Amino acid sequence: MSITLHTLCQHLGIATPAGKENLELTAVKTLHEAGKTDLSFFDNQQYKHGARTTQAAAVLVRERDAKTLPEGVLPLLTPQPYAAFARALQLMYPTPEPEGGISQFAVVSASAKVHPTARVEPYAVIYAGADIGPHVHIGAHTVVGQGVRVGEGTRIAAHVTLQKCSIGHNCILHPGVRVGQDGFGFAMATGPKGVELIKVPQIGQVEIGNDVEIGANTTIDCGALGNTVIHDMVKIDNQVQIAHNVKIGHGSRVVAQVGVAGSASLGAFTVIGGQVGISGHTTMADKVMVAACSAVTKSITTEGEVLAGIPAVPIKQWRRSVATLARLTKMVKGNAADKEAEKVEDNNA
């Protein structure tokens, strides 16, 4: 999509360079790849070399970094270049609105409600009592279970399964997402046949708020008795497992391959790194950050705490432990070398 610099700056709420209002921008590219009609951005000092040599027409940049750009490249001053870049992409590469209608190859229950502006792709199945709101997009081979509600503007990709859940407005569910399947609950009992595992029926729901994004092949179990709750603006990456009765607070981000055990509760704006494990029935204060490959085994009560390690501890403590272990390893190797040298001397004697 080609737009003028003035249109872009108006959209971003930043000043348009004088005399350049009608400059045409045709694409958004990296600093290294951008050409004379492209927009780019500079936010990370690791890319300073790219900023110094870029051939872009204009670059979104902080005022302090504007002098880094070559002569002739227009600096578009903003305190948050990366956020401005995201909004520029949304403007220049808008997601097309789905054309309303139900494919002749879809199967829709007579008692389901599908808004006329919603799009249902081939081989999707919508069960009785489901409620599909305006401008919803249901991808091919997706299954929407009995009584499921999907809010306005939500986009659900192919091969998604939804049951025992409600989904808010303007959400994005990527291919292979599973929502509302049974949680992992079994009661152990001893009887005439010995020890047996009795399945605990999972009768709760999943509540997903507005503006939530869920990555490919992520699974979110329904509650055992109460509900599993994903609050507004939560962003979940691919291949994440959310167990029954988990609560994830407003604006939190959960990176790929995280496992959150049953009844854990994450505060607002938490950030969970990749491959983190979170024990069941733990709670986490707001704005907590957990480094990748850590294991959270107990509740975190300090807002904004940054954790790392197995078990997860404050990151400064973890760094000291790693440094101490490295020194200890070096000492052990040194002692072993000394003993080997003594043994050689004894043999020579």
Neighbours of 334 (CB within 10 A): 10
Q: What is the pLDDT of residue 346?
A: 61
Neighbours of 263 (CB within 10 A): 20
Is 244 among the catalytic positions? yes
Q: State which H helix or E strand residue 332 sits in.
A: helix 315-348
CATH number of residue 42's parent domain: 3.40.1390.10
346, part of any domain:
no
Counted domains in the chain: 1
- The single residue of 135, 159, 174, 244 carrying the catalytic annotation is 244
Average pLDDT of the segment spanning 210-230: 97
17, part of any domain:
yes
Q: What is the pLDDT of residue 100?
A: 93
Q: What is the DSSP string of 1-43?
A: --EEHHHHHHHHT-PPPTT-TT-EE-EE--TTT--TTEEEEE-
23, part of any domain:
yes
Average pLDDT of the segment spanning 148-154: 98
Calpha distance 160→186 (Å, rounded): 26
Structure confidence by residue, pLDDT tens digits, 288-302: 999 999 999 999 999
Flag the least confident range among 48-52, 94-98, 150-154: 94-98
25, part of any domain:
yes
194, part of any domain:
no
* Residue percentage of the chain with pLDDT more than 70: 95
Count of residues for the chain? 349
Domain that holds residue 61: 3-92
Calpha distance 5→8 (Å, rounded): 5
224, part of any domain:
no
Structure confidence by residue, pLDDT tens digits, 306-349: 999 999 999 999 999 999 988 887 887 766 655 665 665 666 65
Q: What is the pLDDT of residue 349?
A: 56
Q: What is the pLDDT of residue 98?
A: 82
| DSSP 3-state of 80 | coil
9, part of any domain:
yes
Calpha distance 45→51 (Å, rounded): 9
Q: What is the pLDDT of residue 1?
A: 74
Structure confidence by residue, pLDDT tens digits, 170-200: 999 999 999 999 999 999 999 888 999 999 9
Cα angle: 279, vertex 280, 285; to 5 degrees: 75
Calpha distance 136→113 (Å, rounded): 12
Query: For residue 31, which of 8, 49, 17, 16 has the smallest C-alpha distance?
Result: 49
Q: What is the pLDDT of residue 3?
A: 94
87, part of any domain:
yes
